[in-house]
Structures are given as C-alpha cells and as structure tokens.
A and B are shown apart, each in its own frame.
Chain A
Amino acid sequence: MSTTTLPPTKKDAPVSAPSGKISDRARSERKLGWLLAGPAFLVMLLVTAYPIAQATYESLFDYRLTDPDNRSFTGLTNYWVILTDRLWWEAIGITAFITFITVAVELVLGFALALVMVKALRALRPILRAAILIPYAVITVVSAFAWQFAFDVNSGFVNSWFVWLPGVSADTDWFGDRWTSILVICLAEIWKTTPFISLLLLAGLAQVPEVLQEAAKVDGATRWQRMWRVTIPNMKAAIMVALLFRTLDAFRVFDTIFIMTNGANGTESVSFLAYRQTIARLEIGLGSALSVLLFLCVVLIAFIFIKLFRVDLSQARGE
C-alpha cells in the first residue's frame, strides 16, 4: 500500500502579470511584509547579530576579564586550542548523545500525547492540554532541582520506589557515575520538553485532512495503516519542524547539567564548556571562540535539516 497525501496545491500565477515578472499586487504585498516585519527584524539584528559579531571579534584575542590591559590579538589560536583538545570532542560527543536520545524519545512520547489531545473527549480536552503543558511551564533550573532531589541518594524517593528493578538499590548513587548521571539528565530534559514537541505535532495533526482518513477507512485500512500511511506522511512538515526546533534547543543543553552534576563524571556539554571558560575562568577570548563554535554547530544542524531533509518551514504554517 502506498502513502496517501493530497496533491500539492499549485500556486496560481497572477493573471495580470506577464510571466517572469512580479505583479503590482505581489510587489505591494512584499512591501507590506517588509514594513510589518521590519521593526522585529531590526530588533532581532540588534539583540542577536551584535552579540554574535562581538563574540566573533573577542574570540580572536587573548583576553582575561580581570586583566584587560594585557589583551592581545592572537588570531585563530583560541580555535586551535579548542579543536585540538580532547575535552572539546568529548563534550561534542556527550552533547550529541543527549540530543539524539532526548529528541528521539520526545518525538515518540510527544506524538502519543498529541494523539491523546486530539482524540480526547471534548470536555476533557482543555484540562488535558493544560496538564500536559505544565512541565513546559516549569523553569528548567527548578525542574532540574526537582529531579535531582528525587534521585538523590539521601533525600530522594526513587531508590526506595524502584528498588525492585535490577541494578537499583537503596544505595544507588545516580550522580556518582557517568551513564546514570546522563540517564537522569535525559529523563529531566524529556519530562520538561516533551510538551513542546507534542504541541507542535498537535498543530500538524490538525492539518491532516479528515477526507483522507475517511477514504482510507472506506478502503478498509486498519488503524495502524491509517497512522503510517495517511496521518504521518501528511504531517511530515510538522514533524520535521518540531525535530529541528527541539534539536537546536537540545544541543544547547546547560541548566540541567549545571544543577545536577556541575559537569562531573564527564557530563560536560558544549554550552557548559563555554560557560566554564567564559564565566568561571574569565577567559573571554577562549570562551567566545567556544561560543562561536557552538553557534556554528547549531547553524550546521539547521542547515542539515533544511537542506538535506528538505524541511519547508512555510509548510508548517499551513501555507
């Protein structure tokens, strides 16, 4: 059985415009678009482009915050120091691992929650949506503390509740080992941000035309077949946008690690490494170089999603 999607709608060429030229209406719409988006674009430029440019500039210097007089231009030395350091590559590995695991689990869970929200009884829907959104409304630092206390060997309840699981005992020190620490970090991240993915997927689900579902039903498709052959292919754009946003977010993981392990047991992410060089070590040059590299990683992820997976951001808006 093949997948069923609606044929792409043709964008009607304006009748009045000769081919290859922009019509007056399109031009005035474009102008209006710029006028409406212009101020926001300018603000964005100020609050994002300026710091990025400054960080790029600072990254070329040997500059310690407490010793500004001895600031000196060192070219790409900071980048060389970072890229030849094992710690950087370890942090990249850990960050990629946390990103992959959390986004994969969140996608499955988020999809399930979105289905629950769509299929729930009308009376229950508002309560359900609010309940599902609560973790997303919690500040990350607060949620990290809550999960840390839950898993703490002295004050936590997890050990006593799950003592029946193999490998868990009353004395299990979750934050004393690399992989158990990462497990708890991932759990906290998943709990916190699954609602975000489920919201985006809910919007995607709402766009799947009912007519296709009904046609599939008439053809005798089972629930499972309708899910795989009708629902998911028709919301591909929403899934990819949700994945893109969440991956970009997950790659910058910081708060949860800072609270739970403070980078102990090899749990340092790239953001954490940037924090340590810039804020703790006060090496503004080295820290800026790390931030620039982190930015480039994020750009690369966005590029891969948009170009390789062909995510059309406008499709997610239902255009």
Chain B
Amino acid sequence: MHESAGQGRPSPGSTARRTPGRRSRRRGVAGAAAVLVTAGTLAACGGDDGGASTLTWYINPDAGGQAEIAARCSQASGGRYTIETSILPRDASSQREQLIRRLAANDSSIDIMSLDPPFIPEFAEAGFLAPVPEDVGERVTEDVVQSAIDGSTWNDELVAVPFWANTQVLWYRKSVAEAAGLDMTQPVTWEQIVEAAESQGKLVGAQGARAESLTVWFNALIESAGGSIIAENSDDPEQIQLGLDTPEGERAVEIMQLVAESDAAGAAFSTSTEDSSATGLESENGGFNVNYPFVYQRALSAAEAGTLDASVPEDYAAAVYPRVDEDTEAAPPYGGINLGIGAFAESPELAYEAAECIVEDENQAFYFLNDGNPASATSVFDDDEVLEAYPSAPVIRESLELAAPRPQTPYYNEISVGVQRSYHPPASVDPGATGERASDLITAVLAKEDLL
C-alpha cells in the first residue's frame, strides 16, 4: 500500500533491452503487466506516502447527487481521501443481495454503503458493519429526525449513519380534490380519497406490484390501523410472533381491498410501482397518489423537458398520508438511506470521517434539492432554498415525525417476501382469511419448514 499508480512502472524499452529473445520478451511483457496491475491495485488502497486513500462508496442509483457529494467531500478532505462511487442495482432487494454476497466473502473493497433501513439489522447481526465510534455516533444523531435514528439502530446500538430520510405523502391534484369537495387542510381517510377519485373519474395510485413497495404499503396500512406486522420480536426466528391475523391486520386488508377493487385503482394496479403510479398522477386521469417526494421533482423535470404540460406540477400538492380510521393518526412509510461502513474495510476510521462529511447539513440540503430526497437533519427543513423549491417540505417533515418503520429483524427478507406472496394481487385479498394464511406461511418459512 505504499505505491502510487505511477511508481514502479517499467518502461517497455528497458524490458526489451534486457531480454532480446522472443520468449523472454513475452515474459517481460507479462511481468510488466503484472507490475502494472499490482501497482494499480495497491494505488487503489491509497498510501501512507501522502497520496489520497481511495474509499469506495456503494450507492443506490439516483439523479447524480451522491456522486456529486462524493466529489465535494473528496475535495474537502484536503487530499486525505478520494471517494469513488460504485452503483448498485436499481431495486433495494437486489442491492441487499449484491452487498451481502460480497460481504459474506469478506470483501474489503466495500468502504461505505448506502443501505435501505429495513436491511440494516440483517447486516448488523451478521457482523458486516464496522462499529460506529461513540463520538461519531453522537455527532451524526444530533438534530436528526427520530425515525432515521431508529432506522440506523439495532439492538439499542447505533450501527449506521443516518443520511436521508424518506417518507411517503399523499400527492394529489388540487383541481380534483376541489371538484370533489374534499377539504385537504384536514386529515383525510382512504375511504374519502377513493370516493372523491371515483366521483371525478380519476385514479388513486398506490404500489400494488409484487415487490418491496407492496410491503411498504401494507406496513403503513397495518401501522396506521394500530397494529404491526411483528407483534413480538425475537432474535430466534421461530419465536417471532406475527400480528397479521389480528383485527388491525384485518382492517389493513379491508383498505387494500377497497382501493384495489375500486374504479379508481386503474387498469394495472397489480403491477403498479412507485414510478408507474407517479406516471398515473401525471396523466389526465391523475387524482391521488401515495408516493415519495420525488414525484414533484419528476413532474417538474418532465415539464422542463417539455414532455409534460407545465400546469400539471402547478396543480400538485401534498398532504400527510391518508388515515385508515378517521380518529387515528396515520403512520406513513419510512424509508431513505443510511450509511453503513463495511466491517472488512481497510480503514474504517477514514470511512467514518467520509461518512460524516457526506451527511453534513449542506450536503443533505443539496441532495434534497438535486434529487428530491428529504434530509434526515431537521435543520434542512428550515432552509430557505429548500422551502422555496419544496413547498411541501413542512408536510414531509411532519410525515417523518409520524412515520413507522418496517419490521426490524435480521429476517426481514423472509417477512417481506412472505407478505408480498400473501397479499398479491391486492384485489384478491380477503379480510377474513389473508392474514391467517400469511401468518401461517411466514411462520413456516421462519422455521425453515416451507419454501418461499
């Protein structure tokens, strides 16, 4: 680790002079190539000779914000480190699969990881995350929304650095709500928005596709009804008690059925994702859509590119996630990205230093403005620039305070895929039976008695 890329590189001429024979020349070229490869590899690890260490940050695909933050922090480090970004697959489940497989093989090239919060317990329990130094932990949790701190915690210990905190809000077309006579200054229920959309012949968008987004929706419904997917957590998978076959679980299924079977669900509800439901809101049938804040930025970009009428984003507004019951506050989905430091990283201290830079308030504000992903730092929501660009920022902050995380367990994947299998397609759910079926399936899967 003491060489830079330029050192120790033999000139082809000197090799040829020493070894005139053909075989020797070939061997010489191979040797030179080996030295080059070695030098390159060593240089990637940085060095103690004053050269910058290279840190690799595995990021989820975005609009370029994370790469820009990496460049800014590299520059700010004054040559101590350079952050290189490496892009992970598009969906969260595939991101997890790739990272876990590599960490299981003790991959030391993973320095910083952008992690989806529900998978953090699994990484922590497997010992794939370098411990957070106490002083770093104190600094990165200061003035941070509680849901982001909870999402970075496992077994009462901070195991990741909160970066950005996402939540879903109710996006709606002001014109549609007005025409339907719905007062959006007050909390609304699922029944109300479905009724309003049906009366206007418009769509209610949610995520009905069999993917992680379906678990996100179902979790928000059951949490809003006062229940939880996991009623009693345990380290032993066979001891985990599920809360699916409960009155709250039943109520969540009722809402799912109400939306999926209504005329407002649209033709492709069972394959609807965050993106396709955002497209639905942009269409002339757009009415309501529970979705992440990127929806607004997406519509603005489309309007700027000329592919969407400028009046469409002007008609957008956001409200807190719909309630399941009129008198009970909604529990919107919590998501986002937290930063994990690889347990096998060459220099975890440096990686934590870089992570602290990445989550600085101004970088979070930049990320909010550039990519539409809300900050975990509360101060960013008071930033004038953010407030101007995101009139819905106060709603997002309120939503983050109410947000409920998905089940926190190292066996999250089994539970999430079990939920997806049982509650898909949403139009086929039965309030009296689906909860019990899902409970039986997931319990058997956790006990390794069933396939998934």
User: Residues of A with Cβ closer than 8 Å to B?
Assistant: 62, 65-68, 81-82, 85, 87-88, 153-154, 171-173, 175-176, 261-265, 273, 276-277, 279-283, 286, 290
Q: Which of A87, A175, A176 contacts B451 (CB 8 A)?
A: A87
Other 8 A-B pairs with CB < 8 A, given A173-B267, A276-B452, A281-B414: A65-B100, A65-B101, A65-B104, A82-B451, A88-B451, A153-B267, A153-B268, A276-B417
Indicate whether A280 sits within 8 Å of B417 (C-beta atoms), given known contacts A154-B268, A154-B279, A176-B425. Answer: yes
A279 touches B209 (CB 8 A): no
Taking the closest CB of chain B, its distance from the CB of A71, in whole angstroms, is: 13
Q: Mark B403-428, 1 if CB is under 8 A from A, else 0.
A: 00000001001100100000011000
Tell me which residues across on chain B come within 8 A of A154, comparing CB atoms.
Answer: 268, 276, 279
| Interface flag for B248 (CB, 8 Å) | no
14 residue pairs from A and B, CB less than 8 Å apart:
A65-B100, A66-B122, A66-B125, A85-B450, A153-B271, A172-B267, A264-B270, A264-B425, A265-B425, A276-B452, A277-B452, A280-B417, A282-B100, A290-B451
- Bound-complex Cα distance A276 to B128 (A): 22
* Contact, CB under 8 Å: B267 / A262: no
Distance (whole angstroms) from the CB of A208 to the closest CB of chain B = 48
Is B126 positioned at the interface, with any CB of A under 8 Å from its CB?
Answer: yes
Known contacts A65-B101, A171-B267, A280-B413; A262/B451 CB under 8 A: no
Shortest Cβ gap from B110 to chain A (Å) = 15
The answer to whether B450 and A176 touch across the interface, beta carbons within 8 angstroms, is: no
A273 to B268, CA, bound (A): 25
Name B's A-contacting residues (CB within 8 A): 93, 97, 100-101, 104, 122, 125-126, 128, 209-211, 267-271, 276, 279, 410, 413-414, 417, 424-425, 448-452
> Please, which residues of chain A bring their CB within 8 A of the CB of B267?
153, 171-173
- Residues of chain B with a CB closer than 8 A to A175's CB: 268, 271
Cβ 8 A contact of A280, one of B97, B125, B425: B97
Cβ-closest chain A residue relative to B237 = A64
Question: Cβ of B101 and Cβ of A273 under 8 Å apart?
Answer: no
A-B pair count, CB < 8 Å, reads 79
Complex contacts, A88 vs chain B, CB 8 Å: 451
Bound CA span A258–B125, Å: 29
Which residue of A has the minimal Cβ distance to B209? A264
Residues of A within 8 A of B269 (CB): 176
CA gap between A262 and B273 in the complex, in Å: 13
Select which of B126, B268, B413, B414 is within 8 A of A67 by beta carbon.
B126
Pair B414/A264 contact, Cβ less than 8 Å: no
Set A65, A264, A279: member contacting B424, Cβ < 8 A: A264
A276 CB contacts on chain B under 8 angstroms: 417, 451-452
Contact A279 B97, beta carbon cutoff 8 Å: yes
Complex Cα–Cα for A290 and B413 (A): 19
Whether B448 lies near A283 (C-beta < 8 A) is yes
Q: How far is the CA of A252 from the CA of B104 in the complex (A)?
A: 27
B125 / chain A contacts, CB cutoff of 8 Å: 66
In the assembled complex, the CB of A44 is this many whole angstroms from the nearest CB of chain B, namely 25
- List residues of chain B with CB within 8 A of the CB of A279: 97, 101
CA distance A264 to B210 in the complex (A): 6
Q: Which residue of A lies closest to B122 (CB)?
A: A66
Cβ-defined contact, B268 with A66, below 8 A: no
Residue of B at shortest CB range from A283? B448
Residue pair B268, A173 in contact (C-beta under 8 Å): yes
B126 to A66, Cβ gap below 8 A?
yes
Q: List, in ascending order, chain A residues with CB within 8 A of B97's CB.
A: 279-280
Residue among B209, B425, B448, B451 having the largest count of chain A Cβ atoms under 10 Å: B451
* CB–CB B451/A85 < 8 A: yes
Q: How far is the CA of A286 from the CA of B210 in the complex (A)?
A: 23
Contacts of A263 in B (CB 8 A): 210
Q: Do A81 and B449 have beta carbons less than 8 Å apart?
A: yes
A69–B451 CA distance with the chains assembled, in angstroms? 23
Residues of B within 8 A of A264 (CB): 209-210, 270-271, 424-425
Write out the residue numbers on chain A whose beta carbons fall within 8 Å of the beta carbon of B104. 65-66, 68
| Complex: chain A residue closest to B279, CB-CB | A154
CA distance A284 to B210 in the complex (A): 24
> Do residues B451 and A286 form an inter-chain contact, with CB atoms below 8 A?
yes
Give bound CA distance, A176 to B425, whole Å: 8
Q: Which residue of A66, A68, A87, A280 is within 8 Å of B410 (Cβ)?
A: A66
Beyond A65-B104, A66-B104, whether A262 also contacts B211 by CB under 8 A is yes
With a 10 A CB-CB cut-off, give which of B93, B128, B269, B448 has the most chain A CB atoms: B448
Distance, CA A261 to CA B122, complexed state (A): 26
Shortest Cβ distance from A168 into chain B, in angstroms? 12
* CB-CB nearest in chain B for A66: B126
B126 adjacent to A176 (CB under 8 Å): no
Residue numbers in B under 8 Å from A176 (CB-CB)? 268-271, 425
**Across the interface, which residues of A come within 8 angstroms of B425, CB to CB?**
176, 264-265
Taking CB atoms, residues of chain A closer than 8 Å to B126 are 66-67
Q: For the complex of A and B, list the 8 residue pairs with the smallest distance between their C-beta atoms, beginning with the closest.
A: A171-B267, A66-B126, A264-B210, A153-B268, A173-B268, A176-B270, A87-B451, A85-B451
Nearest neighbor of A261 in chain B, beta-carbon distance: B210
> Nearest chain B CB to A169's CB is how many angstroms away?
9
Contact of B450 among A66, A81, A171, A261 (CB under 8 A): A81
User: Considering only CB atoms, which chain B residue lies closest to A285 in the complex?
Assistant: B448
Alpha-carbon distance between A249 and B450 when the two chains are bound, in angstroms: 27
Q: Nearest-CB distance from B283 to chain A (Å)?
A: 9
A286–B448 touching, CB < 8 Å:
yes
Contacts of B451 in A (CB 8 A): 81-82, 85, 87-88, 273, 276-277, 286, 290
A82 vs B450: C-alpha distance when bound (angstroms): 7
Chain B residues closer than 8 Å to A281, beta-carbon distance: 413-414, 417, 452
| Distance in Å: Cβ of B155 to nearest Cβ of chain A | 15
Q: What residues of chain A lie closer than 8 Å to B414, measured between beta carbons? A: 281
CB nearest to B105 among chain A residues: A65
Q: Which residues of chain A are near B276, meaning CB under 8 Å?
A: 154
Q: How far is the CB of A193 from chain B (nearest CB, A)?
A: 26
